[in-house]
Amino acid sequence: MFVTGDTPMRLLRICLFGVAIGITASIAAHGEEPKPAPWRHIDQSQYVGAVKCSECHLSHYDGWKDTAHNKMIRVPVAEGPNKNILADFAIASEHRQFELKDVKWVVGSRWKQRFIGDVDGKEVVYPAQWSVKDKKWQAYEGKTDWWYPTHKDWKERSNFKLCAGCHSTGSDAYSEKWTELNISCESCHGPGKEHSAKPKIENIVNPARLSTARSMDVCLACHQSGKPPGDDYAWPVGYQPGLKLKDFWQPFVLEQGKPSTELWPNGAAHKNRVQGNTFEKSVMHASGLQCTNCHDAHGSRFQSMTIKSVESNALCLTCHGPGKDQGPNYQNISEHTHHDALSTGSHCIECHMPKTGANSVSGEARNHTFDFVSPAQTLANKSPNSCNGCHADKTPDWALTEVKKWYPKLK
């Protein structure tokens, strides 16, 4: 889906405005933001698409092809082996003002599905979503999103302005088009026309050769809650891999002690899509780790593209545990977890990445601060903790008492 060549008007815009925009406003201070600067232009003629890359990088392509990144936004298929509609349109719902025949794109498949269609000549997001976990229709009004006050009417809620930049590749504010649906190679490697014609290391972005901060930015462009300047768009307009994300995107920061849509007062994930906000606060990030230490963007055989199994603890034990540089030290893992070695209660991520965040329902998104979340946090501010997710029939007081028997100094 390529766009036409440069018009004189567009060339003028490139000359005048083709510089990164600076954002000075603090998001916390409402209503004092500067007017959005003119957007940086994306030269869509430089994008070639994943199939082109596959000519020389077949194994990367084959791995990526089956990842969630390549299944984000699709033409709806309701029957047969390629069925991608999980929602049940036979179930009536007061929230749903549309039918399957009205759906142009289906978005998502793991936690929830949202639907896009043309209404009054505009491509918009319908105000109902399907929860995969609850198998139910839910209202999708966006009431907790920062953009709600300026996008109240769903019939005006543009897929391009509010969503497309994170669900497709090469989106440009001037053409109002993307170059490719889904999160494809060039979302993370930048445009590859020159590289495909004359492959060199210098003419393609390899995140592994960027600084840790610029490399992380590639993922944070979509995996960090925040906002660009102005109220029109909800994605980092004009950002491309290799650039400094902060010039396009102001991440939401925790106001000490205050709960927000995005984060609990202790900084843990309150919703999905805050891996950036939470991981940046972690001890691991402070010591130089980044997303790709645990995730392989070209796919893996494990859930969420982790490079090793989390059920066997292999991922964490790459660097942690007996004989490794990082603790904990033990003869038997139960000394650290106080659960049977084969119990789920001995899985590192269950205590260090509890599901504190809401997605389509609460308790679906894993926290990326990697802190043990003490039951004391639940007593203080109702945040979910690392124990009661499994011990749902017990109180946080019980959990705090039990864990203090093991870790007396724990707060």
Per CB under 6 A, contacts with ligand HEC among 281-310 are 283-284, 287, 289, 291-295, 297-298, 303-306, 310
Q: Which listed residue (61, 146, 178, 248) binds ligand HEC by CB under 6 A?
A: 61
Question: Is the link from the previous residue into 328 a cis peptide, with omega within 30 of 0?
Answer: yes
Of the pair 31, 408, the CB lying nearest ligand HEC is at: 408
**Nearest CA among 347, 388, 365, 145 for reference residue 268:** 365
Q: Which listed residue (318, 361, 363, 380) binds ligand HEC by CB under 6 A?
A: 318
The C-alpha angle with vertex 222 and arms to 24 and 272, in degrees rounded to 5, equals 105
Count of residues that interact with ligand HEC, criterion CB under 6 A? 115
Residue 90's contacts (CB-CB under 8 Å, 6 or more residues apart) are none
CB of 43 to ligand HEC, least distance (A): 14
Q: Which listed residue (214, 372, 379, 380) binds ligand HEC by CB under 6 A?
A: 372
Of the pair 149, 328, the CB lying nearest ligand HEC is at: 328
Do 64 and 70 meet the contact criterion of CB atoms below 8 Å apart? Answer: yes
Q: Which listed residue (326, 363, 379, 380) binds ligand HEC by CB under 6 A?
A: 326
Rounded to whole angstroms, how far apart are CA atoms 215 and 125?
31
Instruction: Kindly state whether residue 189 participates in binding ligand HEC, applying the rule CB under 6 A.
Output: yes
Structure tokens at 88: 């049940």
Of the pair 235, 264, the CB lying nearest ligand HEC is at: 235
CB of 8 to ligand HEC, least distance (A): 28
Q: Which listed residue (272, 356, 378, 383) binds ligand HEC by CB under 6 A?
A: 272
Of the pair 100, 410, the CB lying nearest ligand HEC is at: 410
Of the pair 186, 262, the CB lying nearest ligand HEC is at: 186
Instruction: Kindly state whether residue 227 participates in binding ligand HEC, applying the rule CB under 6 A.
Output: no
Of the pair 11, 319, the CB lying nearest ligand HEC is at: 319
Instruction: Kindly state whether residue 404 participates in binding ligand HEC, applying the rule CB under 6 A.
Output: no
On the CB side of 39, CA atoms within 13 Å amount to 22
Q: Which residues of 210-246 are buried (b: 16+ CB within 10 A; e: fewer)?
A: beeebbbbbbbbbbbbbbbbeebbbbbbbbbbbbebb
Q: Which listed residue (42, 103, 218, 376) binds ligand HEC by CB under 6 A?
A: 218
Do 298 and 64 meet the contact criterion of CB atoms below 8 Å apart? Answer: yes
DSSP per-residue codes, 99-140:
-GGG-SEEE-SSSEEEEEEEETTEEEE-SEEEETTTTEEEE-
Sequence letter at residue 291? C
Rounded to whole angstroms, how far apart are CA atoms 370 and 310?
14
Binding residues for ligand HEC restricted to 233-252, rule: CB under 6 A: 234-235
CB of 149 to ligand HEC, least distance (A): 15
Do 158 and 150 meet the contact criterion of CB atoms below 8 Å apart? Answer: no
Of the pair 11, 156, the CB lying nearest ligand HEC is at: 156
Q: Which residues of 107-128 are buried (b: 16+ CB within 10 A; e: fewer)?
A: bbbbbbbbbbbebeeebbbbbb
Q: Which listed residue (77, 100, 139, 410) binds ligand HEC by CB under 6 A?
A: 410
Q: Which listed residue (349, 361, 379, 380) binds ligand HEC by CB under 6 A?
A: 349
Rounded to whole angstroms, how far apart are CA atoms 17 and 142?
32
String of contacts with ligand HEC for each residue 143-172, x by CB under 6 A: -------------------xx--xx-----
Q: Which listed residue (13, 41, 96, 114) binds ligand HEC by CB under 6 A?
A: 114
Instruction: Kindly state whether residue 131 participates in binding ligand HEC, applying the rule CB under 6 A.
Output: no
CB of 103 to ligand HEC, least distance (A): 12
String of contacts with ligand HEC for each residue 17-46, x by CB under 6 A: ------------------------------
Rounded to whole angstroms, how far apart are CA atoms 318 and 284?
14
Structure tokens at 241: 């891999």
